[in-house]
Amino acid sequence: MQRRNFLILGSIFGLSPYVKAEEHTELSREFEKVKSLIAAVQEHMFPAGNKIPSAKDMDANRFLFEAISHNCYDKDIRAFVIEGAKEFKNSTKGDFLTMNKKDKEKALREYEQSSYGQSWLSRIMVITLEGIFSDPIYGSNKKEAGWKALNSYGGFPRAKSRYIQL
């Protein structure tokens, strides 16, 4: 290998961790802008007082962030989750968080009428359900409450470490 190629490759590999860290920081910043909106949507879809535990009780918002932050998660879906939340926020003129339950339902139903909105709400629902019914080691399904609500149990063998730690 020529010295020049060695230096170029060394520079690229040397910058890789920095680029990855910058990507995660950018995702964190973007998610922070829509975190409360996504949490409100999750809590509306899975409220307290039902047979299954609420999204809030299961810390589904944190699960969603950790899931989309993982380096194996599809970057397009990650962007879709963030951009869909921004579009929904714009469609409600930023008022969703202060709406009453009836108005929230109406806003979600209106957003659901577009194929983009329907896909985004579906994605939020799927990730939230994954959190509610995942192994508690992943930070949601606290005290196995999701499994207990369905009189079920997790898979065997149980996970010994979180994906995020691998």
Q: Domain residues of the chain, as ranges?
A: 27-165
pLDDT for the residue 102: 98
Low-confidence winner among 7-11, 53-57, 66-70, 129-133 (lowest mean pLDDT) = 7-11
Q: CB-based contacts of 58: which residues, under 8 Å, 6+ apart?
A: 46, 131, 132, 140, 141, 142, 145, 146
| pLDDT over 60 (residue 1) | no
Low-confidence winner among 9-23, 49-63, 138-152 (lowest mean pLDDT) = 9-23
* Rounded Cα–Cα distance for residues 29 and 86 (Å): 13
Q: CB-based contacts of 102: which residues, under 8 Å, 6+ apart?
A: none
pLDDT in tens, 70-86: 888 889 999 999 999 99
* Overall average pLDDT of the 11-29 stretch: 60
pTM: 0.79
* 68 φ/ψ sector (left φ>0, alpha ψ -120 to 50, else beta): alpha
Q: Which two structure tokens, joined as six digits, stand for 81? A: 């989750």
Contact 145, 134 (CB under 8 A): no
pLDDT in tens, 118-128: 999 999 999 99
| pLDDT over 50 (residue 91) | yes
Q: Band of the pLDDT at 18, cuts 50, 70, 90?
A: very low
> Which of 148, 90, 130 lies closest to 114, judged by CA?
90
pLDDT for the residue 19: 45
pLDDT for the residue 150: 85
* Overall average pLDDT of the 159-165 stretch: 67
